Chain A
Amino acid sequence: MARRAQPVGAGPGIGAAAAVGALILGSLAAVFLRAEAGRGLGPADWAAVRFTVLQATLSAAISVGLAVPVARALARRRFVGRRALIALMGAPFILPVIVAVLGLLSVFGRSGWVSQALGWFGLPPLSIYGLHGVVLAHVFFNLPLATRLILQGWQEIPAERFRLAAQLGAGPGEIRRLLERPMLARVVPGALAVVFAICLTSFAVALTLGGGPRATTIELAIYQAFRFDFDLGRAALLSSIQILLTSAAALLALKAARHEGPGAGLDRPVQRWDANGAGLVAQDAALIGLATLFLALPLAAIIARGVPGILSLPAGVWRAALTSVEVAAGSTALLLMLALPMAATVATGRRAGVELAGMLGLAASPLVIGTGLFIIINPLADPRALALPVTALVNAVMALPFALRILVPRACEVVARHGRLALALDMGGWPFVRRVLLPRMRPQIGFAAGLAAALSMGDLGVIALFADPDRATLPLQVWRLMGAYRMETAAGAALLLLCLSMAAFWLLDRGGRFHAEA
């Protein structure tokens, strides 16, 4: 069938998609070619595979298992601050992992608040290194995500159904059977798959709270093969296994998940007539309170521990902060240069290949791409000299699937609504992009840029692979300070990192919405 005329050409978007595809597939190919498959997996490698799957399974099960009652409590209660709490649950997505780990250590660690309280009763302190520490950190990150996903399922039950159920005299038990179980059967598999896929590629959590033969993820094993043994063949072999695992998990998640990502519209007023018994009210209040404490305490701990140190931070930390800001800025610019043309191309109806290229980032992990890029760059130049550009690039590619999810629907809307008029005025191409597409997409561009900047600012992944001792981003610097047991300085630097990440997100997101009309 003949196509409708379109106001923007597909060339730049297809070019961007091809670049992303070449980058990801190229590094995967490099990894596969370099892998020494003949050598097979050693016992330590198998242990890493087992641990990776085990911790991801546990993290997914516990996060989602806890998220169901928390989401139900949020769905059937209305209280002051509910909106703010749901918004807060989007925050872990852009929270630097290293900051959260430090916060969790301050609360649940050997000398943390909980251990101190246990000490008053003569009980031994907690330790959160090893499997349970890794799972604890993953639950911290993914309980809010799972809660939002499942809450969305609840909010999608039309208000009329609850009215009808109330009319029929249904109590909490009947509501569960009639309305909630079918919804959960639909939503929970998706949430499980998303959390499982995220935890499979966990690096920074395993780096800080795991380690040793009993708590090493594949991602961490790649790093160790790289940094400690400089065994590229083994790193590549591990990367190949990681690719198979993450691709399978990503496919599973895409199939099972009807919606993911920080969604919108979580506050439709649904009136509930069931579950007004005092027992259920108390139960929901307790659940919401505990979940809030679990999320807020580590952040409070970082602030409490970091404030004294933040004014006396050593110069190295400030240098690292500047580096991080530069990497985040570069990464955000790269992301927009890739995502905007791709979104425009998808919006004009040439979707297939471009959308697929955007998804590739989900199937690869940062360390796998890092390994691949190292293998490609190594014969040509010193990879360590390119540590920062490579970090910015990998961060941009990793943020791409999320950015497209934000940008594509709006781009489609703008082209559908204004494309014809623009064509009638002969303002195709750049005038359309400059005068219509970009101004109309400003809030979404700001949001996507904010996410990309914050994710890049807090990323502790590829940089650990490539960096030399005298070059560091802020997350890497925090980790090095922790390794040197300079915990107060580390807390101060972590607080600085937290402020920078949140400020980057806030500024860009706000900038996008400033004076923007609907």
Chain B
Amino acid sequence: MLKLDATIVANGDFTTRADFTIPAGAKVAVIGPSGAGKSTLVEGIAGFLPVTGGRILWQGRDITREPPGKRPVAMLFQDGNLFPHLTVEQNVGLGVRPDLRLNAEQKARVARAIARTGLAGLETRKPAALSGGQQSRAALARVLVQNRPLLLLDEPFAALGPALKTEMLDLVSELAQETGATLMMVSHDPNDARRIADLVVLVTEGHAHPPRPTAELLDNPPPALQRYLGSPESRTR
């Protein structure tokens, strides 16, 4: 269970507040207008931005002050999820040991993750020699070997086409299901939320609202969400 206990995340002068819990194993979409604080929230949970008030707890353990790499978190960013000068194998291996000194068992784990994400045979390629979808798969393979209970996605598939994006989201959903990880994904698109999320956290003007069941929230949007989604008339304009 992820508990945000009156948490305030600072991004320069901008802050995002959150005070709620997310049950373990949940799949949560974080949606809201751009500039509202979605990325600030997940970067605070991942440890990249300072928490200036409240606490963050994972399974009752206070992780507020822990450095990013020591948190129970695996994160995918909007871009730059792979090191361009390292091979797929090395990039994935970093998820096991950051100094890449892998034993046979660990190498086998890397190979299994690469095969699971459909990249078998491409181990020695560098990211530039992969398609956009394959790059996403390589990053997901690394998330898989990292084996962290909390998976944060900050729109890593935004640059992919709609079909490919759906394919990746389905893969993420499957992987989360298999590993039992808790998933939080930032999204602009309510359809993404409907597709794989059972809960939605709405973020508006630096305030993250407690999670609500996806269908319930999207079918009966509160005014703030309505403004973001746009009324049917304004959508046709």
Tell me, in angstroms, the Cα distance from A374 to B185 when the chains sit together.
64
B69 touching A425 by the CB < 8 A rule? Answer: yes
Q: What residue of chain A has the Cβ atom nearest to residue B69's Cβ?
A: A426
B48 touching A423 by the CB < 8 A rule? Answer: yes
Of the stretches A2-10, A29-37, A126-134, A496-504, the one at the interface is A2-10
In the complex, chain B residues whose CB is within 8 Å of the CB of A432: 98
Known A2-B52, A5-B68, A417-B80: A427·B85 in contact at CB below 8 Å: no
Q: What residue of chain B has the Cβ atom nearest to residue A440's Cβ?
A: B85
A431 touching B85 by the CB < 8 A rule? Answer: no
In the complex, which of the residues B48, B73, B98, B128 contacts A427, with contact meaning CB atoms closer than 8 Å?
B98
Tell me, in angstroms, the Cα distance from A4 to B99 when the chains sit together.
23
Tell me, in angstroms, the Cα distance from A376 to B146 when the chains sit together.
55
* Most chain B CB neighbours (cut-off 10 Å) among A420, A428, A430: A420
Tell me, in angstroms, the Cα distance from A427 to B142 when the chains sit together.
14
Least Cβ–Cβ distance between A426 and chain B, in angstroms: 2
- Is A229 among interface residues, defined by CB-CB distance under 8 A? no
B12 touching A425 by the CB < 8 A rule? Answer: no
Q: What residue of chain A has the Cβ atom nearest to residue B67's Cβ?
A: A5
Known A427-B69, A517-B126: A420·B80 in contact at CB below 8 Å: yes
- Is A424 among interface residues, defined by CB-CB distance under 8 A? yes
In the complex, chain B residues whose CB is within 8 Å of the CB of A417: 80
- Is B100 among interface residues, defined by CB-CB distance under 8 A? yes
- Is A213 among interface residues, defined by CB-CB distance under 8 A? no
- Is B94 among interface residues, defined by CB-CB distance under 8 A? yes
- Is A258 among interface residues, defined by CB-CB distance under 8 A? no
Query: A402-422 vs B: 1/0 string, CB under 8 Å?
Result: 000000000000000110111
Tell me, in angstroms, the Cα distance from A414 to B73 when the chains sit together.
23
In the complex, chain B residues whose CB is within 8 Å of the CB of A255: none
A421 touching B80 by the CB < 8 A rule? Answer: yes
- Is A1 among interface residues, defined by CB-CB distance under 8 A? yes
- Is B201 among interface residues, defined by CB-CB distance under 8 A? no
How many A-B residue pairs have C-beta atoms within 8 angstroms? Tell me: 72
B69 touching A428 by the CB < 8 A rule? Answer: yes
In the complex, chain B residues whose CB is within 8 Å of the CB of A1: 10, 12
In the complex, chain B residues whose CB is within 8 Å of the CB of A418: 80, 83
In the complex, chain B residues whose CB is within 8 Å of the CB of A423: 47-48, 67-69
Query: B225-236 vs A: 1/0 string, CB under 8 Å?
Result: 000000000000
B98 touching A424 by the CB < 8 A rule? Answer: no
- Is A124 among interface residues, defined by CB-CB distance under 8 A? no
- Is A436 among interface residues, defined by CB-CB distance under 8 A? yes
- The interface on chain B, measured as residues whose beta carbon lies within 8 A of the other chain's beta carbons, has a size of 31
In the complex, which of the residues B52, B81, B83, B126 contacts A436, with contact meaning CB atoms closer than 8 Å?
B83
B69 touching A420 by the CB < 8 A rule? Answer: no
Query: A350-374 vs B: 1/0 string, CB under 8 Å?
Result: 0000000000000000000000000
Least Cβ–Cβ distance between A435 and chain B, in angstroms: 7
In the complex, chain A residues whose CB is within 8 Å of the CB of B99: 427, 430-431, 435
- Is B32 among interface residues, defined by CB-CB distance under 8 A? no
- Is A308 among interface residues, defined by CB-CB distance under 8 A? no
B52 touching A421 by the CB < 8 A rule? Answer: no
Least Cβ–Cβ distance between B80 and chain A, in angstroms: 6
Least Cβ–Cβ distance between A76 and chain B, in angstroms: 38
* Most chain B CB neighbours (cut-off 10 Å) among A2, A3, A4, A425: A425
- Is A439 among interface residues, defined by CB-CB distance under 8 A? yes
Least Cβ–Cβ distance between A442 and chain B, in angstroms: 9
Tell me, in angstroms, the Cα distance from A30 to B46 when the chains sit together.
51
Q: B26-76: which residues lie under 8 A (CB-CB) from chain A?
A: 46-50, 52, 67-70, 73-75
A2 touching B50 by the CB < 8 A rule? Answer: yes
- Is B86 among interface residues, defined by CB-CB distance under 8 A? yes
In the complex, chain A residues whose CB is within 8 Å of the CB of B75: 424
- Offer 19 A-B interface pairs, CB within 8 angstroms, sorted by A: A2-B52, A4-B48, A5-B47, A417-B80, A418-B80, A418-B83, A420-B80, A424-B46, A425-B94, A425-B95, A425-B142, A426-B67, A426-B98, A427-B98, A427-B99, A428-B69, A431-B99, A435-B86, A435-B94
Q: Show the binding face of B for A, using Cβ within 8 Å.
A: 10, 12, 46-50, 52, 67-70, 73-75, 77, 80-81, 83-86, 94-95, 98-100, 126, 128, 142, 146
Q: What 4 A-B pairs come out closest when comparing CB atoms?
A: A426-B69, A427-B98, A2-B50, A423-B68
New A-B contacts (5) at CB < 8 Å, excluding given A424-B69, A425-B95: A2-B10, A424-B74, A425-B142, A426-B68, A435-B83
